[in-house]
Structure 1
Amino acid sequence: MMLQRAPLKQRLPSIAALKQLRKRKQRIRRAVTATVAAILLALAGWGVYMSQEDNGRPRFEQVAQFQVANIKYTSWGGLAASAQLAYAKEKNVVVPASVTHNGLTYLVSELGFNSFRHDTLLRKAVVMCEADTMNILQGAFKGCNNLKELYLISRKFVGIGSDIWKCPIDSLFDAHHYNDVTLYVPAAQLQLYRRSAWSKFKHIKPVVK
């Protein structure tokens, strides 16, 4: 036979104790609710973080973003800028070594993710660089089916990917580019390119001034 417990009021010594118990329960419920909300918020933030990583977008706060002609520039500080076509409709593109916006001059040090992707009209791309580094990020020339000439006119060797966003050269170009595209580089760096991952290009020539 199961014994029945006395009503709660009879088991507590006073009404004050009953009120105190209710308050404790309310505090516990609020604490649990706040903890769950914090966990959900953290998961949502992590989801956005991972989504940005998966979509190949830098996770840093943008300092400036602007457009000059058909090229968009994004800076994350240090007066350095990443370049990307605004609209994939160019036959010949020159990415300048620097660009001025609102009185500030930014050195172009990067071709951003998918910067020329699917520009099927593009035949010639000239990349100028005076910054200490120049990097070309993932997807840059994917889908540029008619690309024939690529000029990398930079004081320093042009990197594939970056220290933060590492990638192989095959993630920048399509397989046919290695045969179809002539890569032009400074004469002093010619052998360096021919001994690097860029050596997949069958035609690497010095820039003729």
Structure 2
Amino acid sequence: MHNHQSCYSRWTWIVALVLALILLLMLLTGNGPSRDCCGSATPVEAATAATESFGFTAHCNDFTSKGDASAWAAHADKLKSILCSGEALQAEGDEKHALLTGVVESDAAKVKLGEEIQAIFGANIALENQTSVKAAEPVVIDQTPIDQAPTSAKLYFDIAKSNLPSSSNDTLAPIVTWLKAHPNAKVVISGFHDASGNKELNHQIA
């Protein structure tokens, strides 16, 4: 009888030890009983609303944004109107920085554009104005030949003759043509003589 009780007691301790080891192993591996297993658990989810950062892109008559609206976004219509003052003007950025690109007519227009948009953004946004000034139109040089009067022409009378020889027509032709095209022009006629013939008449002719 004593041996039977001793054997029973020994097996009881062995079973208890095995159960203890199993429980310890479950606790170490994370598979043990939860402390909330016996209570009425109420699941509570932490509301973590991820706030998306603000960003925008604006063109003439177009404005798109994402994230929490910036305070100046209420003036988006005014921004679009200003961006219509140049060629392909665009503003894009976030709550701290903005980039302005496109083409403007002059350096003065570039400065004015930057000031107007900066006034909309406010002092908390750094504006980088990278707009370019439109290239000046090339100066076209008139290559039309200048309408110049013909150079002076010399006509020679034959000795003791008052009529010009027929060859003089070719010499006078360009002068006559130019005078017809310029009726207000004046012609200076001068002459000279040689030592032959009547001296008094030569002076009158000259």
Report the TM-score, using the length of structure 1 for normalisation. 0.25
TM-score, normalisation: structure 2:
0.26
Higher strand share: 1
Q: Which has the larger radius of gyration?
A: 2
